[in-house]
Amino acid sequence: MPELRKDPVLGRWIIISKERSKRPTDFLVEKAETTGGFCPLCPGNENTTPSEVLAYRKNQFAKINEPGWQVRVVPNKFPALVIEGDLDKEGEGLYDKMNGIGAHEVIIESPRHDINFADLDPAEMAMVFRAYRDRIEDLAMDERFQYVMVFKNHGRAAGASLEHPHSQLIALPVLPRLLVSELEGSLSYYNYKERCIFCDIVRQEIKQEIRVVCQNDRFITITPFAPKTPFEMWVLPKTHSSSYRRQDEEQLYGLAEIFSESLQRLDRCIPGVPYNFVLHTQPLRSENLEHFHWHFEIVPKLTSIAGFEWGSGFYINPMPPEEAAAFLRESL
């Protein structure tokens, strides 16, 4: 059984999830694909994954776990958390832990093995965003969960172990520490100004223009004022909303337009760049929040990043976001 453990000083929860019996030196080796050319995510191989929890098919009378899907969501075969069981919160002296209960799912973004997520057309990408929303909505009914973390690893260096385009979600019985910090920081601004800090950021960025990558009526992509890495991008809705769950089809299509354009611009600037993106949205058990604003953060994984940031939490970024935005604007 995996475990959730809390750092007693920082209050940060981590997952201890032992994959299998590993020797210490195994941690030095890049994870290799273990499927030997066979792709478990491709159409026709549906029986090699756990049974699907969601799929969109044009033919609504089609059978589950058979081809014909456009987006398909399955439980992760090697989950970091397990769905069955009780949390059994307990102490170990001054430490806190609980059973590693949660959901860990794979969102297969397309039936096509060789396409990049960035190259899906907006209608296809919007279906992926719809799958995120529908799965969050479903998992929210499980009272054990506090948050659903949605993320994508693109490229081996960013942690992707399978080539077929996919993203992941992890439903957690705790809140990620970084989200708690965002909630606290934005609340403290709201208490002072009575405005959402993200709404103020969107307004200022539209006015200043220098960090804008692209925008449409509904969404804007910026390089943030104080980015961790070169070419980091945030994608924000222009209208206040704290919850990704409440986005309708039209809104998700607008998101897909800007998201695919942003990723294409990034890939044109730095061909083949590995990246991660993470959805930031309100906790499952919150009412609408006036002070928080859902958004995506896209973080390129660049080898020139010095390692000490990892240990210190202090970032040195050699690329001013204004210059990164200019490169991105000129790239298409």
35 to 74, contacts with its own copies by CB under 8 A? none
Decide: is 157 part of the binding site for its own copies (CB under 8 A). Answer: yes
In the chain, the amino acid numbered 64 is I
Q: How many CB atoms lie within 10 A of CB 276?
A: 18
CA–CA dist 271, 6 (Å, integer) = 39
CA–CA dist 209, 232 (Å, integer) = 16
Decide: is 1 part of the binding site for its own copies (CB under 8 A). Answer: no
Structure tokens at 253: 């299509």
Minimum separation from the CB atom of position 57 to its own copies (A): 29
Enter the DSSP assignment of 68: -
Minimum separation from the CB atom of position 60 to its own copies (A): 34
213 — alpha (psi -120 to 50), left (phi > 0) or beta?
alpha
Select 3 or 290, whichever has its Cβ closest to its own copies: 3
Nearest-Å Rg of the Cα atoms of the chain is: 20
Q: Which of these ranges, 41-49, 63-71, 253-261, 293-301, lies near its own copies under the rule CB under 8 A? A: 293-301
Query: What is the total residue count of the chain?
Result: 332
Q: What interhelical angle do 197-208 and 177-193 show, nearest 10?
A: 80
Minimum separation from the CB atom of position 229 to its own copies (A): 8
Q: How many CB atoms lie within 10 A of CB 328?
A: 26
From the candidates 104, 166, 291, 293, give the one annotated as an active-site residue: 166
Minimum separation from the CB atom of position 77 to its own copies (A): 15
The site that binds its own copies (CB under 8 A) totals a number of residues, namely 95
Select 53 or 325, whichever has its Cβ closest to its own copies: 325
287-311 burial, b at 16+ Cβ within 10 Å, e below that, comes to: eebebbbbbbbbbbbbeebeeeeee
Select the residue interacting with its own copies from 15, 39, 83, 87 (CB under 8 A).
15
Strands 275-280 and 147-154, how do they pair? Answer: antiparallel
Minimum separation from the CB atom of position 277 to its own copies (A): 7
Q: Which of these ranges, 58-66, 214-222, 240-248, 300-308, lies near its own copies under the rule CB under 8 A? A: 300-308
Decide: is 270 part of the binding site for its own copies (CB under 8 A). Answer: yes
Minimum separation from the CB atom of position 176 to its own copies (A): 4
Select 55 or 179, whichever has its Cβ closest to its own copies: 179
Q: Which of these ranges, 45-53, 121-129, 220-228, 236-244, lies near its own copies under the rule CB under 8 A? A: 220-228
User: Site residues for its own copies, window 177-216 (CB under 8 A)?
Assistant: 177-178, 181-182, 185-186, 189, 197-198, 200-201, 204, 207-208
Tell me the CA end-to-end span of the chain in Å, nearest whole number.
Answer: 48
Q: Which of these ranges, 14-22, 38-46, 47-55, 236-244, lies near its own copies under the rule CB under 8 A? A: 14-22
Decide: is 319 part of the binding site for its own copies (CB under 8 A). Answer: yes
Q: Is 280 a catalytic residue?
A: no
Decide: is 29 part of the binding site for its own copies (CB under 8 A). Answer: yes
CA–CA dist 252, 244 (Å, integer) = 10
CA–CA dist 27, 183 (Å, integer) = 34
User: Site residues for its own copies, window 114-153 (CB under 8 A)?
Assistant: 149, 151-153
Which secondary-structure segment (H or E) carries 177?
helix 177-193
Decide: is 80 part of the binding site for its own copies (CB under 8 A). Answer: yes
Just list the catalytic residues: 166
